[in-house]
Amino acid sequence: MNPKQLKRVAIILGVVLVLWLTAELLGGGRDDVETAFVLPPLQETDVDSIVFASASDTIALARSGSGWLVNGYEASPDEVSAFFNALADSSEAELISTSALLLARMGVDTAAGTSMKLVNGAEVVAAVVFGKAGRQYDTRYVRRDSSNFVYLYTGGLSRFVQRGVDDWRNKRMLDIEAASLGAVSVRRGRESYTLVQRDSVWRYSTGAAADSAAVRRMLDQYSPLDASGFATEQQADSADFERPDRSVT
């Protein structure tokens, strides 16, 4: 075999080797492919705790009576319901890789991933690790915590992975029905007034007529009234509730 033929054989062997390595990295042999990845469509009653854990933070939701707590704070019922709705709407994920060499690249290794465990009593109902977001909306790489098989998950559940404690907390401050109120007192600075409702008509406590539509618009601000966030310890210490800008009772 002359040098030219040897060179050609070497090139062919090199191409075959590259193709084999690529196949091993991206999928390997599919003879050992595990069961297709589908998150269980659980209901709130099927779980008593949810834990998201990453290298930098841990978010722990736990059932408390008829509601939920998140890291000891009252959790938003709407957020918890939205989580389980997203879980129920999850579809089968697409297998992307079976190689442990690609876990870090997809962010599903122990250093970069966010684990999610759903627990009922002593039983771990589901345990997965979420990684980087995919290129498409609502997609994220995911694997079972005991497996190197990586899937591309599509669904609303991926939006809950990076949420902090305050995102889960209940921000509902008030939720009142204007029709159920008999009187409302408003104080702003040195000025104050009281409105009284009788037969769906609002009047000032002095007997003067009030604009009932305007009163209802004001009360609609409290039906419901949600906070935009939570004060830090420093902000709370500097707040002066002894002399509020406005008080409504």
Mean pLDDT of the chain, nearest integer: 84
pLDDT class of 61 with cuts at 50, 70, 90: very high
User: Mean pLDDT over residues 40-50, rounded?
Assistant: 91
pLDDT class of 111 with cuts at 50, 70, 90: very high
User: Mean pLDDT over residues 150-161, rounded?
Assistant: 91
41-168 CATH fold: Immunoglobulin-like (2.60.40)
Distance CA 52, CA 118 (A): 9
pLDDT at 68: 97
- Tens digit of each residue's pLDDT (9 = 90 or more) over 229-249: 888 888 878 877 777 777 888
Helices and strands counted in the chain (H then E):
5, 15
pLDDT at 227: 86
Q: Has residue 7 got a pLDDT over 60? A: no
Q: So where are the chain's domains?
A: 41-168, 172-248
Query: Where does the chain show beta strands of DSSP type E?
Result: 49-53, 58-64, 67-70, 73-74, 94-97, 114-120, 123-133, 139-144, 150-154, 172-174, 183-188, 191-198, 201-204, 225-226, 247-248
pLDDT class of 34 with cuts at 50, 70, 90: low
